[in-house]
Amino acid sequence: MATNGHRSGGALRVVVLAGGRSSEHEVSLSSGEAVREGLLAAGHEVVWVEIARDGSWHCEGQPLSVTPGAGLLGADVAFPVLHGPFGEDGTVQGMLETLAVPYVGSGVAASAVSLDKVLFKELMRAHGVPQVDFVGLRAREGKAPRAELERLGLPVFVKPAHLGSSVGIVKVASPEELAPAIEQAFAHDDVVIVEASSGGREVECAVLGELASPAGEISFGGEFYDYEAKYTPGGMQLIVPARIAPDAERRVRGLALEVFAAAGCDGLARVDFFVEGEHVLVNELNTMPGFTPTSVYAKLIDAAGIPYAQLVDRLCRLARERHWRLQALRR
23 is catalytic: no
168 is catalytic: no
Phi, psi of 267 (to 5 degrees): 80, -75
Marked catalytic residue, from 189, 249, 266, 284: 284
Question: What's the per-residue H, E or C state across 235-300?
Answer: CEEEECCCCCCHHHHHHHHHHHHHHHHHCCCCCEEEEEEEEECCEEEEEEEECCCCCCCCCHHHHH
Please count the other Cβ atoms lying within 10 Å of the Cβ belonging to residue 320: 20
283 is catalytic: no
Give the C-alpha separation, 296 to 133, whole Å: 26
330 is catalytic: no
- The set of residues, in sequence order, having a beta carbon less than 8 Å from that of 63 and lying 6+ positions away, is 56, 57
Would you give the end-to-end CA distance of the chain in angstroms?
Answer: 15
24 is catalytic: yes
Report in angstroms the alpha-carbon separations of 209 from 119, 133, 244, 261: 23, 29, 24, 10
Marked catalytic residue, from 19, 20, 23, 24: 24
Establish how many alpha carbons lie within 13 A of residue 324's alpha carbon, considering only the half-sphere containing its beta carbon: 14
Marked catalytic residue, from 23, 30, 165, 283: 165
Give the C-alpha separation, 11 to 142, whole Å: 54
Give the C-alpha separation, 144 to 149, whole Å: 8
Marked catalytic residue, from 50, 76, 195, 272: 272
165 is catalytic: yes
Marked catalytic residue, from 45, 231, 235, 258: 231
325 is catalytic: no
Q: What angle do CA 168, 170, 172 make, to 5 degrees?
A: 160
Marked catalytic residue, from 21, 30, 290, 297: 290
- The set of residues, in sequence order, having a beta carbon less than 8 Å from that of 58 and lying 6+ positions away, is 49, 50, 51, 52, 64
Alpha-helix runs per DSSP H in the chain: 25-41, 91-99, 108-115, 117-126, 146-151, 175-186, 227-231, 246-262, 296-303, 308-330
Marked catalytic residue, from 22, 23, 28, 286: 286
The alpha carbon of 113 is separated from its chain's Cα centroid by a whole number of angstroms, namely 11
Marked catalytic residue, from 270, 314, 320, 322: 270
202 is catalytic: no
For the chain, the C-alpha Rg in angstroms (whole number) is 20
Active site members: 24, 165, 231, 270, 272, 284, 286, 290
